[in-house]
Amino acid sequence: MYVDIDYYIANRKSSEPDAECTKDIQELLDLAEMKVDEVTFNRIRGIGFDNLTEFQKDKVRKAVCVQADYIQEYGGYTDGEPQIESYSVLDISVSVSNKQTDAERAGMATLAYKLLEQTGLMRRAL
């Protein structure tokens, strides 16, 4: 686990949750961690979190917290498919937006994505 509930609560901007919310928080953190693992090609698992530099650990923890907030606000995973930009009924015409950012394509909060980019763990080849 990259972030525990105490770390998350201590570093979030909103008020402290009640005891009933801790289960929900753990689920959010688990989903956020899964997304972080996905975009880092499971390198954190392979290397071991404790073997990362302090800089990398800090960025990963912050990214998990930001992503957990993002999931709470916008829902779970998005599949990264392009969004429909327009739709016509007669003569059926559909336009798809290709203007998504890398973070949007990955289904992540932009800040979480940017934090992980700083770690060097998202490069295709290391």
Round the CA-based radius of gyration of the chain to a whole number and report it: 17
Give the C-alpha distances (Å, rounded to integers) separating 85 from 49, 93, 100.
Answer: 40, 11, 11
List, for residues 5-52, the tens digit of each pLDDT value.
Answer: 999 999 876 666 665 677 789 999 999 999 999 999 999 999 999 999
Q: Does some domain include residue 107?
A: yes
Question: Of 58, 43, 62, whose CA–CA distance to 112 is shortest?
Answer: 62
Q: How many domains, in total, are found in the chain?
A: 1
Domain that holds residue 111: 5-117
Q: What is the residue whose two structure tokens read 């201590």?
A: 10
Q: Does some domain include residue 76?
A: yes
Q: Does some domain include residue 125?
A: no
Q: How confident is the model over 94-113, as a mean pLDDT? A: 79
Q: What is the pTM of this model?
A: 0.78
Q: Does some domain include residue 96?
A: yes
